[in-house]
Amino acid sequence: MAKYNPTEYAQAVIETLRPHFPDLENPGIAKVIGEAIRKHRETPSDEIACILDANGMWRLYAHPTPGQVELVCMRAQSPEANERERDLNGLLDALA
């Protein structure tokens, strides 16, 4: 059984990522992204792609596990970006 219902999962993802992506401090942005996450959790066949930063470098996509999301760095990756992606995905995986 899932740890969180779709609404709780979406809220937990937003709260997990908010300290790392300042745009999520904007209630309107957080609401739109949260709603996309909620819908994906409810209906995993629904695609999800959310840009998390002004540069479009960091995005949320569907995780291989249905109903979950994962963070992806879209630009040339540095060791720091790889570590950030790995660490944040670890936090997101813990929400499953």
pTM of the model: 0.92
Along the 96 residues of the chain, how does pLDDT read in single tens digits? 468 999 999 999 999 999 999 999 999 999 999 999 999 999 988 789 999 999 999 999 999 999 999 999 997 778 999 999 999 999 999 998
**Consecutive H or E run containing 79:** helix 79-94
The Cα 1–Cα 10 span in angstroms is 17
DSSP code per residue over 19-43? GG-GGGGSHHHHHHHHHHHHHHHH-
Phi and psi angles of residue 57, each rounded to the nearest 5 degrees, phi first: -80, -35
Q: What is the pLDDT of residue 77?
A: 76
Where exactly are the structural domains of the chain? 6-94
